[in-house]
Amino acid sequence: MNREAELLPNYEKQLRYARAHEHLKRAMDGGFHIEAAMICESIITDRLHSHLHWRVEVAKLCTMEDVVARLSEKKMFRPPKKPPEISLEKASLFILILAVGLDFKDHGFEHYQSLPIRLDKWRECRNEIAHNMTYTRPTSKTYDVAFDEFMAHARECATEGKALTAHLTNWDRLVRDRYKRTLKGAGG
């Protein structure tokens, strides 16, 4: 490991992020919007998981048991349905969006209030483009939209995903910085 790597606690992660953003830019510039959306999903999922980890392990604002219990109260998880599968090691994008959204109003920052809704709408869009390029209804062998319309939808999804990666990163940074200032103000 070089000297610079020793100085930065998340050096490898920062390198990976830089490379992901380079690939995202190349994919967008090259018109590979489905690939760009997949890169956005990776970044967004990691940011959400990192924020959850921070809230549970670093800031100690809640426990994973609290998160699972509160998610289980949502209609979609009530018995006889299974409780949500979430841990600090693994969770789906959908569950992470729900988990971060649990306490979202407590985070403040009015500019970001629509973030959980935007993330979930984007997740649905990403699912559509990930699974519908060649999918046809088995009974009719037809597509829901023409190919050019599909690709325009993919471009819109990738563009929104790229914007959301920045928006989510900025929000996360603001929340963490406010928490640090609160600690300093309390003499911590």
**pTM beyond 0.85, yes or no:** yes
- 102-160 pLDDT, tens digit per residue, is 877 666 678 888 899 999 999 999 999 999 888 888 888 888 889 999 999 999 999 99
- 168-182 pLDDT, tens digit per residue, is 999 999 999 988 888
Instruction: Please list, in sequence order, all residues whose beta carbon lies within 8 angstroms of the beta carbon of residue 36, skipping any fewer than 6 positions away.
Output: 24, 27, 28, 158, 161, 162
Q: Name the 3-class secondary structure at 145.
A: coil
Domain extents for the chain?
37-182
